[in-house]
Each structure stands twice: as structure tokens, then as C-alpha cells.
């Protein structure tokens, strides 16, 4: 990163994560407890270089996770209440991935709440791209990973 505004952008990005979290938490609380296949698996719980860049800009170290599990085992951050770390500290893919049942639950929320979530999520993605000096394309602005149930 060669951006003099890194700390400011990183703080705005953290705030953007915090803005989308209540909406996502609301729907994961509705959908995930009854799910038969855990989406939160070990291979997704590993921070990549971009996640580490973001956390470093905030002067935070990457949360420790033991990597002695298989990629398909439940994520080491997952506990009975969900993820044990705050959303902004999670690997980005954890905020970006929505299975079909979760996506349907989100879309079924009140129109205004869902639209606000989409707007907030778009802001989050754009801030992350700005922090990482990643050019945005129309397709990158908001396209959550969707797993077929």
C-alpha cells in the first residue's frame, strides 16, 4: 500500500464493517442454527494478505487460529454463539459469503433495511478497494459469494 490516508481509510473500513454487522447478525441468528451444513469452515477462517494489510493499518495483529485442522472442518473461530471474533477482524470472505438460505432471509427483510444494508456493504467494498489500492470494476462492487444449498 502506498496510500498516505491508510489509517483514516482503515478506520472508515472498520466502521463500515460495524455498520453491516447488525443486519448480517440478525439473519445468521435466524438461519445458521438450523443449518445442517456449516459454511464457516477452516479454510475460510484463514486471513489472507489483504486481511493482514487492513488489520496492520489499524495496528492490530491477526487473531490467532490453529491450522492443524482439515480445510473442511468447522472454523476454529466458530463457537456455540457463532464467530468468536468481531466481524471487522474476520477474514473478509467471512463477511462476503452468503449461502442461499441466508441470502433469501436477507432479501426477505423489510425493503428499506435491505437497501440500507446493500448501500452499506457497497461502501465497505469500495473502502476496502481504496485501502488496498485495488481498482473497482462494476462486477466487483457487490457480488457476494453464494453457495448452492
Our CA angle for 128, 37, 22, nearest 5°, is 40
Q: Is residue 63 part of a domain?
A: yes
Q: Which pLDDT value is given to residue 66?
A: 64
Q: Which pLDDT value is given to residue 27?
A: 94
Q: Is residue 36 part of a domain?
A: yes
Beta-carbon contacts of residue 41 (< 8 Å; ≥ 6 apart): 71, 72, 73, 74, 75
Q: Domain span at residue 88? A: 6-131
The number of folded domains in the chain is: 1
Q: Which pLDDT value is given to residue 3?
A: 56
H-state helical runs in the chain: 6-31, 49-57, 92-96, 100-107, 111-131
Q: Is residue 142 part of a domain?
A: no
Among candidate residues 86, 5, 72, the one with its CA nearest the CA of residue 43 = 72
Residues of the chain with pLDDT under 50: 1-2, 138-149
Q: Is residue 138 part of a domain?
A: no
Q: Is residue 103 part of a domain?
A: yes
Q: Is residue 33 part of a domain?
A: yes
Amino acid at each position: 500500500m502506498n496510500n498516505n490516508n491508510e489509517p483514516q481509510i482503515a478506520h472508515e473500513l472498520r466502521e463500515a464493517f460495524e455498520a453491516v454487522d447488525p443486519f448480517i447478525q440478525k439473519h445468521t441468528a435466524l438461519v445458521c442454527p438450523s443449518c445442517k451444513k456449516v459454511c464457516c469452515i477452516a479454510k475460510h477462517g484463514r486471513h489472507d494478505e489483504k486481511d493482514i494489510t487492513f488489520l496492520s493499518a489499524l495496528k492490530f495483529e491477526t487473531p490467532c487460529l490453529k491450522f492443524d485442522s482439515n480445510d473442511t472442518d468447522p472454523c476454529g473461530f466458530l463457537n456455540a454463539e457463532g464467530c468468536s471474533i468481531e466481524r471487522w477482524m474476520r477474514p473478509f470472505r467471512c463477511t462476503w459469503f452468503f449461502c442461499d438460505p441466508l441470502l433469501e432471509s436477507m432479501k426477505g427483510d423489510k425493503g428499506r433495511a435491505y437497501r440500507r444494508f446493500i448501500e452499506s456493504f457497497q461502501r465497505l467494498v469500495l473502502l476496502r478497494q481504496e485501502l488496498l489500492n485495488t481498482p473497482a470494476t462494476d462486477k466487483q462492487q457487490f457480488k457476494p459469494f453464494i453457495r448452492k444449498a
